[in-house]
Amino acid sequence: MTPPLSRFPVPALDHLPTDLARRFSEVADKSGFVPNIFRALAWRPVEWRAFFAYHDALMDKESPALSKADRELIVVVTSAANDCLYCVVAHGAIVRIRARDPFLADQVAVDWRKAPLSTAQRVMLEASLLLAMDPAAVGPEHLARLAEAGFSQDDVWDIGSISALFALSNRLAHWAAVPPNDEFYLLGRVRRE
């Protein structure tokens, strides 16, 4: 008994605009399946394009202080604070793969404060979580602390923007009740030799 992909219409895979169809094929070729969020947003192609353009600009990117795995950690921690199953499970899988660590995603999702993280990662998660949950409380001191922890101005912008983008994403997933694909639950749990 598979749950529906969304509370809203989900276009058939052969009825997608060309650019969406191409991206669906690429992701399916790479990971073996199309993530449900791709399908659930597709009935609104303009919003779909905006969302993934924003997403790719922030997530498909690395800097010396802010790796792709770090970016995914922000997603998992802020999404866990919002009880967003889709984002915790899907991005938890990406954390396991990118950080090559089968435990870290569950650790930060449940209690990031006791997780094995670097000081810079702690400062990063504290600031992004504050922005996620109590945005008016963010002051210049929080951005200063990120700079002191070694993040560049671009990194600081990205840290806040990733938290902000998943504030949007968590709410879309809750509103439409999009479940994670079954495949995500197990991805990266077994260390590959």
Q: If binding is defined by CB under 8 A, does position 32 make contact with its own copies? A: no
| Separation CA 98–CA 60 (nearest Å) | 12
Q: Which of 37, 69, 80, 99 binds its own copies (CB under 8 A)?
A: 80
- Please give the Cα distance from 159 to 18 (Å, whole number): 32
Q: Does 179 bind its own copies (CB under 8 A)?
A: yes
Q: Is 53 in the site for its own copies (CB under 8 A)?
A: yes
Closest CA relative to residue 78, chosen from 87, 69, 86: 87
- Out of 18, 60, 119, 190, the only residue in the binding site for its own copies (CB under 8 A) is 190
Q: How many residues bind its own copies (CB under 8 A)?
A: 65
Residue 172 sits at the vertex; the CA angle it makes with 170 and 176, to the nearest 5 degrees, is 120
Q: What is the dihedral of CA 174, 4, 41, 29, to 10 degrees?
A: 120
Nearer CB in complex with its own copies: 69/93: 93
Report the residue number, 64 or 139, with the smaller CB distance to its own copies. Answer: 139
> Given candidates 62, 111, 118, 148, which one binds its own copies under the rule CB under 8 A?
111
Q: Does residue 192 belong to the site contacting its own copies (CB under 8 A)?
A: no
Q: Report the distance separating Cα 22 and Cα 127, nearest Å.
A: 36
**Number of other residues whose CB lies within 10 A of the CB of residue 119:** 9
All residues at 6 or more sequence positions from 26 whose CB lies less than 8 Å from its CB, including other chains: none
Site residues for its own copies per CB under 8 A: 1, 3, 7-9, 44, 46-47, 49-51, 53-54, 57-58, 80, 82-85, 88-89, 102-103, 106-107, 109-111, 113-114, 116, 131-132, 135-140, 143, 153, 156-157, 160-161, 163-165, 167-172, 174-177, 179, 182, 185-186, 189-190
